[in-house]
Amino acid sequence: MAGATGRDFTRREVLGRATRAGAGAYLFGALPALERAFPALGEERPNILFVFSDDHAVQAISAYGSRINHTPHIDRIATEGAIFLNSFCTNSICAPSRAVVLTGKHSHVNGKIDNSAQDPFDTGQPTFNKALQAAGYQTAMIGKWHLRSDPEGFDFWQVLPGQGHYYNPDFRTPDGQVRMEGYVTDLVTDLSLQWLERERDPDRPFLLMCQHKAPHRNWMPGPDHLMTYEDVEIPEPESLFDDYLNRASPAALQEMSIREHLQPAYDLKITPEAPEDPDDPFPGYARMTPAQRAAWDAAYGPRNTRFREANPQGDDRVRWYYQRYIKDYLRCIAGIDDNVGRMLAYLDDTGLARDTLVIYCSDQGFYLGEHGWYDKRWMYEESLSMPLLARWPGRIAPGTRIPHLVQNIDYAPTFLEMAGEPVPGDIQGESLLGLLTGRTTDGWRDSIYYHYYEYPQPHRVAPHYGIRTERYKLVHYYGTGEWELFDLEEDPGELNSVYADPARSGLVDELKAELRRLREFYGDETGVGF
């Protein structure tokens, strides 16, 4: 943080400021050669396989030190490439994160600030996939799109409607909607491999966005993992029984706690002994084939019987709910990891691996019982953090660990530069190529900006914005006028705000100055100022 408010701006920041000041609106692919962030890569244009999951928390990836599961195939990407240790989102919610990834711009700029159907993402605006398509890349989008309108800038697309279903999902296509039998994570991978094998032009580089529904709520595991973790007790997070003291009031006023807000049938699959409709006791069950139902019932029937017989109450019920929730979540992750392995094996077997950048990430983090919660939205670490791993043989050294502060606004300029394409000055992110390939990156940011909007429903998470530096986090809940300050070195669990500590008043002033600078720099006039 020291010197952040007075540091020199990077070239990209200067160009971005000039653009926002009226120096001109740039379109993807229309900038002069001066606009290239680094020297061009010559004829080397990698294929890009972008594997994107939904709500996959870093604390559920063993490469990030998970103590609750093992993800060997995802870990391979880090072992054979790079892992970003401080990767964050700009707005911790599904559709806005996806819009940020596509545009390289914060939510208030790309127009998608929440999941509301009343404000769909404007697919007519410039996106990195359109620029790659115009530059000769063959582009495909398969899986969870979650931006409501039809995808644009893709030669091929087959996407889930809305959230999609885990079993026997429907897919939207340019020719209409089709239903496919099977488990959604397997099917998205099947379609991706089919496109690589049969649809792509081998003489052109490709961009394949393979985007999974899992592990999104309501956490329905696939048939291969119905019994995974059956005899395992998953460790509880230290803050499972958080009392929400020593923080701003919104933490205690939310509606996303395991204790109060998980739904027994929908979320936990605790079906009544005599459900009103045995064929549809919770969403997703009615879609199953008889064989799928039989396997499901064989797994969950005995578990539910034991729960009813035990009839846990109070904290014991919270603990039981946590175990059911976290095991189902991790079972969905196991399916993701299996299918990442399938994709990597295909690249290896076909020789495509050496020419392909593989990215694995998720749209934001998630609460796995920390603070007693599930879901995301907050600027606390568990939902602010995003997994980001990258492999590119010959360009990214195996075992690279990157500590710099990065965000999902950085993905679009990274892909453009890797393809040798110009990066428009109105993109708000910075290319990660220098970090990935070990080049000097003088002037890299030392703080990141975050803004969450969606309130009151669902979950009643109060709107807030703030900044995070390497050590500190300052959060402003502008609806209530409250602030939080966390020292992440002394309090990594963010259980004690030190905003009111007189000894920190100078630090508060410095962080507020940096917050003002970033709000001005990114042109964010939404929310209430201070």
454 within 8 A of 114, measured Cβ to Cβ:
yes
Cβ count near 495 (within 10 Å): 17
pTM of the predicted protein model:
0.92
Cα–Cα distances in angstroms (integers) from residue 447 to residues 106, 107, 405, 450, 514, in the given order: 15, 18, 7, 10, 8
pLDDT at residue number 43: 56
What number of other Cβ atoms are within 10 A of residue 325's Cβ?
20
Query: What crossing angle do the helices spanning 411-418 and 94-103 adopt, rounded to 10°?
Result: 30
| Alpha helices by DSSP H, 219-313 | 250-253, 290-310
Closest by Cα among 161, 458, 142, 168 to 284: 168
Length of the chain: 530
Split the chain (530 residues) into runs of 10 and give each run's mean pLDDT: 36 35 33 34 81 98 98 98 98 98 98 91 96 98 95 98 97 98 99 97 97 98 98 97 98 98 97 87 96 98 97 98 98 98 98 98 98 98 98 97 98 97 97 93 94 97 98 98 98 98 98 98 97
- What are the helix (H) ranges across 116-241? 128-134, 184-194
Angle at 218 between CA 216 and CA 224, to 5 degrees: 85
Q: Which domains can be identified in the chain, with CATH numbers?
A: 4-219+325-439 (3.40.720.10)
Number of other CB atoms surrounding residue 218 within 10 Å: 18
CA gap 338, 393 in Å, rounded: 22
Which residues, 6+ apart, have CB-to-CB distance to 149 below 8 Å?
A: 120, 121, 123
Which amino acid is it at 51?
Answer: V
Of 362, 56, 59, give the one whose Cα is nearest residue 236.
Answer: 59
Best CA proximity match to 46, nearest among 288, 355, 320: 355
Cα separation, 112 vs 352, in Å, equals 35
- 115: its two tokens: 């999941």
Check residue 119 and give its pLDDT. Answer: 83
Q: Which amino acid is at 502?
A: P
Longest dimension (CA), the chain: 71
CA atoms in the 13 A half-sphere facing the CB of 296: 23
Give the model's pLDDT for residue 429. 98
Q: Is the dihedral of CA 116, 120, 126, 127 positive or negative?
A: positive
Cis check for the bond before 218: say yes or no (omega within 30 of 0). Answer: yes
